[in-house]
Structure 1
Amino acid sequence: MKRALLLLLLAIGAGNLSAQTANDSLPKLDPKLKASLNAVDQIGYQMAMRYSDPQMAKTKLFELMVRNPEDLRYMEALGSLYFDGGQFASAALVAMDILQLNDKNVGALEVAAYSLEQLGALDRALPHFESLYLLTGDNFSLYKSAFIQYNLKRYDEAMNSVTMLVKNAKADEKIGFPKSQTETQEVSMKAAALNLKGLIYLDQNSMAEAKTAFNEAISLDPAFDQAKENLKKTN
């Protein structure tokens, strides 16, 4: 994972190369030939996906990207393939190239945010999660922002995000917490936010405030195991 992050940072440092930039000097194809080649590659991509051959699918997407630099659908599909295959550095780079062309592309923001988080580049993932929340109003993106702010010890920002989340969380919104290697416990988004609020206070050695926050989380979800374990740390 560290090697993948290093390669990502080196690639970013070298500058973004979008499909549009890479194709500025290519000769223009006859429209009929281009349409014919596109059709063949699209069929090839669909067959590769049908037969679970992601490498061939990527090859077809690269050919489509080179021929159609203005069509972001092929870059989006490539980024998703990289992400689904656990190639997070490649996924992040594709997504960030898309964002150079359209900084409001929700799919690219998601791939960039989660890929960078997987690579441990939390400071780079955070702006993408924040943008996702601003564009979509998705409370899960706000929770991810708050959690990363907390991990980066940006406590004032994290507390502001948590306060917004406690206020705006919907009753039916759930978030998963690991109970074991094979089990996940679902709790309400508001309880999760209050648990995170407690962790922020705990880091700042504000034990009384942390205890109050953990107790509030447990009152909303009495079976919330992590909140119960965190509560013990305030004694």
Structure 2
Amino acid sequence: MKHVFLMLLMAFCASTTIAQTADSVARLDPKLKKTLNAADQAAYQLALRYNDMASAKSSLYDLIVRNPEDIRYIEMLGSLYYESGQSMSAALVSMDVLKVNDKSIPSLEIAAYSLEQVGALERSLPYFESLYLLSGDNFSLYKTGYIQYSLKKYPEALNSMNMLIKNAKPEDKVGFPKSQTETQEISMKAAALNLKGMIYLDQGSKTEAKTAFEEAISLEPAFDFAKENLAKTN
């Protein structure tokens, strides 16, 4: 009970502070607000130039508090967190943006990849799905299928891979690790066939898996991962 009381007290204090800040901003002289915004925008650019991410974030927070209606600053904060490797913060900021604008492609990308990076696959999946639907980006469809496969949503994963096999373009590529220092570039269609085989293999359908892996190798004869998977069907 003590912990619950402390959490409620902290939430009350935080909401009071936010309300007071919003009230203070509302009472700012428009000319002063414009001057402060210009100063913080200049500080933000200078901080980026000198790779001082902490100062850049601080300037953005001031701009966000002073301009709560301008979603650009929140989007910029999400990008900074993502580029700094702070995946959880990047995800939280981007999800807030998407509550206001659920068609923001940059925020969908950041939310999807950040949540995947922290292991929240179930949460990341709808963002990858939305990203594909809005952008038509085939790599987003591949990621959708891979996460569906990881979550054992096999019918959905198969549907995603069948769509990708049909729609993949020759220039679409997926990188697979060949060694600790090398990456193998594989066509999207071959990658989709390989993942399709993995789905069948997980379900115990070795004949269908073997067919998919062989098709992937026929497209990419040097596809090491597909060869390793094919060996599992024997």
- TM-score norm. by structure 1 comes to 0.89
Partner of residue 205, structure 1: 204
Moved over 3 A (4+): 21-27
Partner of residue 36, structure 1: 35
Question: Does the CA-based 8 Å contact 2:25-2:66 persist in structure 1?
Answer: no
Q: 1:223 aligns to what SS in structure 2? A: coil
**What are the ranges of 5 or more consecutive residues in structure 2 without an aligned counterpart?**
1-10
Partner of residue 191, structure 1: 190
Question: Does the CA-based 8 Å contact 2:128-2:144 persist in structure 1?
Answer: yes
Q: If each structure's helix is expressed as a fraction of its own residues, which one has the higher value?
A: 2
TM-fit CA distance, 1:24: 4.9
Q: For 1:173 and 1:180, how far apart are their aligned partners in 2?
A: 22
Partner of residue 78, structure 1: 77
Question: Does the CA-based 8 Å contact 2:22-2:65 persist in structure 1?
Answer: no
Q: For 1:184 and 1:191, how far apart are their aligned partners in 2?
A: 16
Partner of residue 222, structure 2: 223
Q: For 2:38 and 2:135, how far apart are their aligned partners in 1?
A: 34
Letter in 2 for 1:70: E
User: Once the two structures are aligned, what percentage of the paired residues are identical?
Assistant: 68
Partner of residue 90, structure 1: 89
Partner of residue 49, structure 2: 50
2:119 is equivalent to residue 124 of structure 1: no
Q: 2:115 aligns to what SS in structure 1? A: helix
More RCO (CA 8 Å, sep 6+): 1
Paired residue total: 217
Q: 1:104 aligns to what SS in structure 2? A: coil
Q: For 1:179 and 1:25, how far apart are their aligned partners in 2?
A: 57
TM-fit CA distance, 1:26: 4.2
Partner of residue 3, structure 1: none
Partner of residue 154, structure 1: 153
**What are the ranges of 5 or more consecutive residues in structure 1 without an aligned counterpart?**
1-13
Rg larger for: 2
Q: For 2:24 and 2:207, how far apart are their aligned partners in 1?
A: 66
Q: For 1:39 and 1:27, how far apart are their aligned partners in 2?
A: 15
Q: For 1:25 and 1:218, how far apart are their aligned partners in 2?
A: 64
Letter in 2 for 1:160: N
Partner of residue 178, structure 1: 177
TM-fit CA distance, 1:72: 1.4
- TM-score norm. by structure 2 comes to 0.89
